[in-house]
Structure 1
């Protein structure tokens, strides 16, 4: 079975991708390859951050790999939090802090349209391939449900209520 590194330390993401690829790919984590350093996301876009992480792993450790960056983009906030989604309420914040900041900023807004955008950079033999996925939906006014992570408790995809 082909091995490929997923350039993340996020266990939720690792669990999801391992379920999706079970039996077809062996997904290695950064810790599986001995990468214990934090890869700085210094890009100003989701694309740049994904490419930075994928290139870092391949150039330093020699593995084919993929990396992602995901942002929640809210229409009424001009696309914020966007590339800053994970640290919207500050560098050392928790997911709950990010949600509360977003809900506070949207308290008096009628336009609740938002979408999650994920960019995946796949590095195979030194070449980078970019992929993008978008899930459109809306920000609800209070948390709901107990599944998922990040902003999931306040985001409802189109077609659901």
Structure 2
């Protein structure tokens, strides 16, 4: 899966300092790229470019976990571009569906990325009277062309709501209401979502390990 480049994983909440001026966001999902770019904005990178902008192919997500898929995407983009690459793998985990859609969250939306259809499938499989607890999970992997990769994970918990509410965010955001809030992710101001999301939690760990000025 990783070719001939060695894979060096970091299990501790520490990582290799990022010292370059170019970072590839290993995604073709414009909503996800925009959200990651917003989170990266304070770090003054000269160039943040997506895999889609570079015309890089999307590798097949063959991993059995969010972390495994994030790592293979980050490594593929780093090898192909010659620059450090940041990949995200994330999804919705519904307790009553035994964690589904999980790593298959995007696949539930089909080849056309129709998340209206995906959300309807969640509603249909849940039915009525079942536990509505759920969480979003995110793994962020930062990989270098030499095969080094650091991975960090975050989660945010809440409930599935129906019907969908809000037109902000992307994916399953309109049916997820995080704990302590009366609105869905799709109804939130993006800055408020960034402060509490699964991606923000993983990003905080990434920043502390790889982007902290004290380590750079």
Is contact 2:27–2:50 with CA below 8 Å preserved after alignment? yes
Matching residue of 2:153: 132
Gaps of 5+ in 2: 1-19, 183-216
Q: Aligned to 1:117, what secondary structure does the other structure show?
A: strand
Q: Is the alpha carbon distance of 1:103 and 1:59 closer, same or farther for their aligned partners in structure 2, counting shifts above 3 Å?
A: same
TM-score between the two structures when normalised by the length of structure 2 = 0.69
Partner of residue 5 from structure 1, selected from 1, 24, 32: 24
Matching residue of 1:121: 141
1:49-64 aligned at under 5 Å gives the runs: 49-64=69-84
**1:108 and 2:120 aligned:** no
Q: Aligned to 2:117, what secondary structure does the other structure show?
A: helix
TM-score between the two structures when normalised by the length of structure 1 = 0.91
After superposition, the C-alpha distances for 1:132-151 in whole angstroms (9 at most, x for unaligned) are: 11110100121111111110
Name the one with the larger strand percent. Answer: 1
Distance 1:62 1:27 in 2: 14
Is contact 2:28–2:50 with CA below 8 Å preserved after alignment? yes
1:1-161 aligned at under 5 Å gives the runs: 2-22=21-41, 24-25=44-45, 26-35=47-56, 37-88=57-108, 90-92=110-112, 94-124=114-144, 125-161=146-182
For residue 78 of structure 1, report the CA deviation from its aligned partner.
0.7
Gaps of 5+ in 1: none
Comparing 13-22 and 139-148, the one that deviates more = 13-22
Name the one with the larger helix percent. Answer: 2
Is contact 1:69–1:119 with CA below 8 Å preserved after alignment? yes
For residue 89 of structure 1, report the CA deviation from its aligned partner.
5.3
| Structure having greater relative contact order (Cα 8 Å, sep ≥ 6) | 2
For residue 131 of structure 1, report the CA deviation from its aligned partner.
0.5
After superposition, the C-alpha distances for 1:52-85 in whole angstroms (9 at most, x for unaligned) are: 1111112232211110100100111110100000
